[in-house]
Amino acid sequence: MIGNAEPVARPTVLVVDDENGPREAFRLVLEDHFNVLTAASGPAALDVLRENPVDIVTLDLMMPLLSGVETLKRIRQIDPDVEVVIVSALPQRDVTSQCVQLRAFEILAKPFSRVEILSAAKRASTRRNDRRRAQQSAAPPTRRPGEVG
């Protein structure tokens, strides 16, 4: 901690993929820089989001039970400001346009490199932090009881 600055918390990433291999690959790539949570389905991801503060979600599009697009719609209802990186082996134009309309941060096409994953997560984290700072500076200052302005 420097001076009176608050300690910077590590951002949290939720990795959502119905396949264990990609979930683990993402976890291994991201765990040195982020707190990493995982979910094997859309419904499980929504449960995690309701119970934990999450900064970034990596979301596979092709999943059983609840599609990636439907999961993204519900994520926006729970936390409209979370950054979402879409991951897909076969991104289709109509599906990707829906993701853009739902404010997906980025769409990564499989296969991708470690560097691409980490870079997308870091950029999403920066955007999330910038947005938070902007919201805090725009908010009126809070006063303590008895404090005169």
Residue 56 has pLDDT above 80, yes or no: yes
Rounded to whole angstroms, the Cα distance separating 20 from 98 reads 26
The 3-state secondary structure of the chain, one letter per residue: CCCCCCCCCCCEEEEECCCHHHHHHHHHHHCCCCEEEEECCHHHHHHHHHHCCCCEEEEECCCCCCCHHHHHHHHHHHCCCCEEEEEECCCCHHHHHHHHHCCCCEEEECCCCHHHHHHHHHHHHHHHHHHHHHHHHHCCCCCCCCCCC
Q: Mean pLDDT over residues 43-70, rounded? A: 94
pLDDT digit string, tens, across residues 99-143: 778 788 888 887 888 999 999 999 999 998 888 888 788 766 665
Angle, helices 68-78/93-101, rounded to nearest 10 degrees: 0
pLDDT digit string, tens, across residues 13-37: 999 999 999 899 999 999 999 999 9
Measure Cα distances from 116 to 48, 58, 86, 112 in Å.
Answer: 25, 12, 12, 6
Which pLDDT band holds residue 1 (cuts at 50, 70, 90)? very low
Instruction: Copy the structure tokens of residue 132.
Output: 């938070």
pLDDT digit string, tens, across residues 60-110: 988 988 988 999 999 999 999 999 999 887 666 767 777 778 788 888 887
Model's pTM, two decimal places? 0.83
Rounded to whole angstroms, the Cα distance separating 22 from 34 reads 17
pLDDT reported for residue 142: 61
Which pLDDT band holds residue 2 (cuts at 50, 70, 90)? very low
